[in-house]
Amino acid sequence: MKLRRTEDLEARLEDTLDPVYLISGDEPLLVQEAADAVRAAARDRGVDEREVFHVESGFDWNELLQSANSLSLFASRRLVELRCASSAPGTQGSKAFEAYTSNLPGDDLLLILMPRIDRRSENSKWYKCLAAVGVHLPVWPLDLEAFPRWLSGRLRRAGVQIEADALTLLSARVEGNPLAAAQAVTRLALADHGGPWSVDALQAVLDDDSRYTAFELADAVLLAEAEHAHRMLATLRQEGIDALAIVAALAWSLRQLRILLRARESGEDLNSVMGRLRLAPKRQKLLQRVLPRLSLPLVEGALRDLAVVDQAVKGLVGIEPWDELDRLCLRLAGVRTTPLGVRARAWLE
């Protein structure tokens, strides 16, 4: 049986234990937490012995079958765990899975962790044998729509209260990185803030280890302080701040400006728009100050370039992200630069 979501696995675990669980995906934290749910459900039902195999090059698949055919040392139920480095078990692994599922070992459970499984593997005999007797949960990266909901749920379970605009900011800061998000939630939970987190409080706790903050850099860029912004970016890089934090701070500011610039073009009252955005008075003053020198095409172009920089940080585009961030900051601060590095254009084409 193939499940669609982690929630489906949790619901099924409440009702029954299946003999085989296959969890696959390239998001280590999400895979780990799904596996933890299986382990916890097994312990709750008396599966108190666990055996772990690390399946790498040269692994002897007979170990799995020997384990299945051996009696538990304490005559108890076991959870046998295979941590596979590849989603292609090869000929020997395929035969082992077929043999295992054709003669399931009593009340033992098999938990298999693998990288992402492609469509070809799902059509293989070994996969169909596993799916016929157990469940497969493919763990996918959280998309832009699902990530804030996932983060909100995680904050709620950790007992962390957060204002809506602060949640938007935090989501932008750790977007696409569940591990960073989990670390941020833990940090907020341990901070003992004593009330809902606001944008200002969140910025302070997330950036309190740096001489400058990513948001101070973004403000300097908007205020056309080109030389200052250039030095700040270099300092942040030397201090080891994650480039994605810079991307998030700039994107957060630019998205606010895009809303205001579109409202200005349509003749809306900007004060009303800022009220709907729930911007702090200090933030409103800064945006009102910088709006006259900025245009909608400039801001939208900068957001497109930021998306490319985001991909570069993640290794998906062959450019140097810090160089592009520097170029982008200077351009937004009023210095003439090219919209995007030539290498990035060539890569994208």
- State the average pLDDT over residues 330-343: 73
Per-position b or e across 83-98, b if 16+ CB within 10 A of its CB: ebeebbbeeebbebbe
pLDDT at position 87 is 85
**Domain of 332, in residue numbers:** 146-348
Instruction: Give the model's confidence band at 299: pLDDT under 50 very low, under 70 low, under 90 confident, else very high.
Output: very high
- Distance of alpha carbon 101 from alpha carbon 89, whole angstroms: 15
Question: Distance (Å, rounded) from C-alpha 168 to C-alpha 153?
Answer: 14
Q: What is the DSSP string of 6-45?
A: HHHHHHHHHH---SEEEEEES-HHHHHHHHHHHHHHHHHT
* CB atoms closer than 10 angstroms to residue 128: 13
Mean pLDDT estimate for the chain: 84
Quick one: 124 and 194 in the same domain?
no
The answer to whether residue 1 sits within a structural domain is: no
Is 220 within the bounds of a domain?
yes
Chain position carrying tokens 């934290």? 29
Average pLDDT over residues 173-178: 72
* Count of domains for the chain: 2
Domain co-membership, 116 together with 212: no
What digits encode the pLDDT tens for the residues 65-115?
888 777 555 546 889 999 988 888 889 999 999 988 888 877 889 999 998
Question: What pLDDT does residue 208 have?
Answer: 53
Quote the pTM value: 0.57
Write down the pLDDT at residue 35. 92
CATH number of domain containing 134: 3.40.50.300
Task: Examine the domain organization and report whether 316 and 214 are in the same domain.
Answer: yes
Per-residue tokens: 45: 């039902």
pLDDT for position 270: 87
How much is the pLDDT for 57?
A: 81
The answer on 177 and 265 residing in a single domain is yes
Pair 12, 74 in one domain: yes
Q: 139, 157, 175 — which closes off a domain?
A: 139
Burial class (CB in 10 A: 0-12, 13-18, 19+), 75: exposed
The CATH code of the domain that includes 247 is 1.20.272.10
What pairs with residue 81 in β-bridges? Answer: 52, 111
Is 302 in the same domain as 226?
Answer: yes
- If asked whether residues 158 and 239 sit together in one domain, one would say yes
- 48 domain-assigned: yes
What the block records as the tokens of 91 is 């000929």
